[in-house]
């Protein structure tokens, strides 16, 4: 992928870009050429850009980690892949490589950002619910990407250029977007959407406890060691859910989590606040998390410390956690990666705390980020041990479509940088309706009442943010 530097300031408004685009058009070698333009812009909030620029019929992607001061929004599609099946990660990799082979990048910033590909995979490699609003794989290169690292913000505009492309129009669109972003104002609808109805929850919880008991019998008979069972909660509101305010609430309530929102451009959005990173790769440095084993946060410091200590020392929680860190470590070794496993510690969120083992490694250049995602997903933090048996039972016991719940969601770029999180603590939003998802790991010694309490705690954290 060739990268051309370019002089800032004069770039957008003084035709330098226009001349470059027309040069690209005259020299289109193949059928078409992707041109990726990266421009430094004033500091903006990508969430507000998303609210103001994305149209309801446009696909979009939003990703933020407030504690790291990083946020990214991607709006509209230049090219995309939707597929499914056992080979889906390899297909996604192939699609991205073939797009990059026809991409030329030009930028005004000294650290110009290369185009990112935004991906959502489903938990299983096929979607079984016929009207589920997302496919088993979506990978897209957006028209507009706004990436912010602290106050440093970059707009990336991607264009597909062929002999027939109207360059005047394309150039005007870019100027218009830059102008719009420079004059953004946040407009709140200020609706009071607090009245909501939850149906059938008592009956659903009763059935869920029965399923946990059946799984404990399978664990007792050594059929498997661990299974992660999830529970959906359906909520209907008086008014359509305000996505922007809900996401703003999520990032304020869970500053240490990854806040995400994926729109399918047809009215449905999958959103959440996940504490679990599947992979992050920056300059060939890989970081991943083993996150499993949970306790509530205490109401007082003394209670919090007591709960933290019992989480750190509980045999049952340690076992639930260890199967995850062992699995991740083995997967990495099998890929030829030598991980450095840091000592287990606590990951304390606003309402819940987890056992957490950070795992790091220097990546060999031949390993593609999606190969690691393919090997790791689903980890025993969201599936179980053994993985195949746990997945079969998840399909048997769970009567709802997991879809994007507990699945890899993230992006990768041309330099091999990448971030994927696990889509837990999430919800499918469809106008005035939300389906919230949360799960819990079941191992020997699990107590159905306590597992249900843990799931309700996780659901409450999400429910509190939705307005």
Least distance in angstroms from the C-beta of 58 to ligand ISC: 29
Contact call for residue 328 and ligand ISC (CB under 6 A): no
Measured in degrees and rounded to the nearest 5, phi and psi for residue 83 equal: -155, -170
- Using CA atoms, how far apart are residues 215 and 402, in angstroms rounded to an integer? 18
Q: State the catalytic residue, choosing from 226, 393, 401, 454.
A: 226
Site string for ligand ISC, 30-59 (x = CB under 6 A): ------------------------------
Question: Which residues 250-309 are close enough to bind ligand ISC by CB under 6 A?
Answer: 276, 291-294
Contact call for residue 438 and ligand ISC (CB under 6 A): yes
User: Can you spell out the DSSP letters for 129-142?
Assistant: STT-SS-SEEEEEE
Closest CB to ligand ISC among 88 and 458? 458
CA separation, residue 250 to residues 179, 247, 271 (Å): 29, 5, 10
Cβ atoms of 41 and 23 within 8 Å: the answer is no
Site string for ligand ISC, 216-255 (x = CB under 6 A): ------------x-x-------------------------
Contact call for residue 441 and ligand ISC (CB under 6 A): yes
CA separation, residue 152 to residues 46, 112, 393 (Å): 12, 11, 47
**Is 164 among the residues known to form the active site?**
no
Provide the token pair at 334.
């099998």
The count of chain residues that interact with ligand ISC, using the rule CB under 6 A, is 18
Measured in degrees and rounded to the nearest 5, phi and psi for residue 401 equal: -80, 120
Contacts of 190 (CB under 8 A, 6+ apart): none
Q: State the catalytic residue, choosing from 80, 201, 202, 276.
A: 276
Least distance in angstroms from the C-beta of 128 to ligand ISC: 20
Provide the token pair at 199.
């149906």
Closest CB to ligand ISC among 143 and 425? 425
Contact call for residue 393 and ligand ISC (CB under 6 A): no
**Is 276 among the residues known to form the active site?**
yes
Contacts of 94 (CB under 8 A, 6+ apart): none
Closest CB to ligand ISC among 368 and 458? 458
Least distance in angstroms from the C-beta of 26 to ligand ISC: 53
Closest CB to ligand ISC among 311 and 332? 311
Place of tokens 């304020």: 252
- Using CA atoms, how far apart are residues 199 and 209, in angstroms rounded to an integer? 17
Least distance in angstroms from the C-beta of 343 to ligand ISC: 18
**In the chain, how many H helices and how many E strands?**
12, 22
How many alpha carbons lie under 13 Å from residue 162 in its C-beta half-sphere? 5
Contact segment (CB under 6 A) with ligand ISC among 67-75, 95-103, 121-129, 435-443 equals 435-443
Question: Which residues 394-423 are close enough to bind ligand ISC by CB under 6 A?
Answer: 406
Contact segment (CB under 6 A) with ligand ISC among 280-288, 357-365, 394-402, 438-446 equals 438-446
Measured in degrees and rounded to the nearest 5, phi and psi for residue 171 equal: -65, -40
Cβ atoms of 81 and 95 within 8 Å: the answer is yes
Closest CB to ligand ISC among 332 and 438? 438
- Using CA atoms, how far apart are residues 274 and 277, in angstroms rounded to an integer? 8
Among all residues, which ones are annotated catalytic? 226, 276
> Can you give the binding site for ligand ISC, defined by CB under 6 A?
228, 230, 276, 291-294, 354, 381-382, 406, 424-425, 438-441, 458
């Amino acid at each position: 992928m060739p990268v051309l530097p370019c002089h800032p300031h004069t770039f957008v408004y003084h035709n330098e870009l226009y001349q470059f685009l027309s040069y690209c058009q005259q020299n289109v070698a193949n059928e078409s050429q992707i041109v990726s333009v990266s421009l430094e812009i004033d500091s903006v909030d990508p969430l507000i850009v998303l609210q103001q620029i994305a149209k309801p019929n446009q696909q979009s992607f939003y990703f933020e980690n407030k504690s790291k001061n990083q946020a990214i929004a991607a709006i509209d599609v230049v090219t995309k892949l939707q597929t499914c099946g056992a080979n889906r990660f390899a297909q996604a990799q192939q699609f991205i490589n073939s797009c990059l082979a026809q991409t030329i990048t030009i930028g005004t910033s000294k650290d110009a950002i290369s185009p990112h590909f935004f991906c959502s995979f489903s938990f299983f490699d096929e979607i079984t619910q016929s009207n589920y609003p997302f496919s088993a794989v979506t990978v897209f290169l957006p028209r507009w990407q706004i990436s912010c690292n602290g106050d440093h913000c970059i707009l990336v505009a991607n264009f597909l250029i062929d002999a027939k492309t109207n360059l005047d129009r394309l150039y005007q669109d870019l100027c218009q977007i830059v102008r719009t972003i420079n004059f953004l104002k946040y407009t709140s609808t200020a609706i009071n959407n607090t009245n909501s109805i939850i149906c059938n929850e008592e009956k659903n919880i009763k059935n869920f406890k029965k399923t946990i008991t059946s799984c404990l019998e399978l664990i007792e008979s050594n059929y498997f060691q661990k299974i992660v069972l999830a529970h959906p909660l359906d909520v209907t509101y008086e008014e359509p859910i305000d996505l922007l305010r809900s996401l703003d609430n999520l990032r304020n309530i869970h500053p240490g989590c990854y806040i995400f929102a994926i729109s399918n451009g047809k009215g449905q959005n999958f959103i959440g606040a996940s504490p679990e990173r599947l992979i992050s790769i920056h300059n060939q440095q890989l970081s991943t998390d083993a996150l499993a084993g949970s306790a509530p946060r205490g109401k007082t410091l003394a209670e919090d410390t007591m709960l933290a200590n019992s989480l750190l020392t509980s045999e049952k929680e340690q076992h639930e956690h260890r199967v995850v860190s062992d699995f991740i470590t083995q997967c990495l070794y099998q890929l030829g990666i030598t991980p450095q496993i840091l000592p287990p510690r606590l990951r304390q969120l606003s309402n819940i705390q987890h056992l957490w083992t950070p795992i790091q490694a220097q990546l060999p250049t031949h390993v593609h980020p999606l190969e690691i995602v393919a090997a790791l997903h689903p980890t025993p933090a969201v599936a179980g041990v053994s993985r195949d048996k746990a997945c079969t039972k998840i399909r048997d016991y769970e009567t709802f479509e997991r879809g994007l719940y507990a699945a890899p969601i993230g992006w990768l770029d041309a330099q091999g940088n990448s971030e994927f999180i696990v889509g837990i603590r999430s919800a499918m939003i469809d106008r005035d309706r939300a389906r919230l998802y949360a799960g819990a790991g079941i191992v020997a010694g699990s107590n159905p009442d306590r597992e249900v309490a843990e799931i309700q705690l996780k659901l409450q954290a999400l429910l509190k943010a939705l307005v």
